[in-house]
Structure 1
Amino acid sequence: MGRPDDEHLVDLAARLERDDPRFARALGSGRPARPREYRRTGAWGTLAVAVLLLISGMALPEGILVAAGLVLAGIAVPLFDPHRDERHR
């Protein structure tokens, strides 16, 4: 025999609180925030630094800055994928 729906909802709320407490608190207060999978602040920061390195490497004839910018851009691009953690499980 299955459990009542209330117990399923309580289990779902507990799992959500454990997985992403910031999102659960914001949802409970009526002002929802983005879930963890869609927060890309670090990705944008990494990409901004990569672009700055590329621009400065082209303005100054420095190949090492261009190379560092390209490598950092290559690191930043996969950070924009919201489901990157699911593939490794």
Structure 2
Amino acid sequence: MPRSEDERLVALEARCACDDPLFARAMSIGRPRRPREFRRTGAWWALAVTTAVLIGGVIVANGLLIATGLVGVGLAAQSLDPPS
């Protein structure tokens, strides 16, 4: 016996609320918010900080800072890559 459309919508809403509660709450009050996959504010901050560490390492000629900056910039840039 096929399920009703209301049951499917309730199941979809419950799954969305479990996956991304902020998005589900924003949709329920009528003010949509970008889903978690497309919120990248933290990644931009990480990129800015690690770029500053990299530049600081180059200025003071410290290999450890340069290596840390390169690894951090790589990780931050990878987190900016859109989900496939």
Q: TM-score, normalised by structure 1?
A: 0.82
Cα deviation digits, residues 46-72 of structure 1 (max 9, x gap): 111111011111222222211111011
Q: How does 1:70-85 map to 2 (within 5 A)?
A: 70-83=70-83
Q: Secondary structure at the match of 2:50?
A: helix
Q: How does 1:1-80 map to 2 (within 5 A)?
A: 1-80=1-80
State the distance in 2 between where 1:6 and 1:45 align: 42
The alignment-based identity, stated in percent, is 54
Superposed displacement of residue 3, structure 1: 1.0
State the distance in 1 between where 2:56 and 2:8 align: 55
Q: Tell me, which stretches of 5 or more residues in structure 2 are unaligned?
A: none
State the distance in 2 between where 1:82 and 1:67 align: 25
Runs of 4+ in 1 over 2 A off after TM superposition: 81-84
Partner of 1:87: none
Cα deviation digits, residues 7-52 of structure 1 (max 9, x gap): 1111111111111110001011111111111111221121111110
State the distance in 2 between where 1:24 and 1:71 align: 35
The residue type equivalent to 2:35 in the other structure is: P
Q: Tell me, which stretches of 5 or more residues in structure 1 are unaligned?
A: 85-89
Equivalenced residues, count = 84
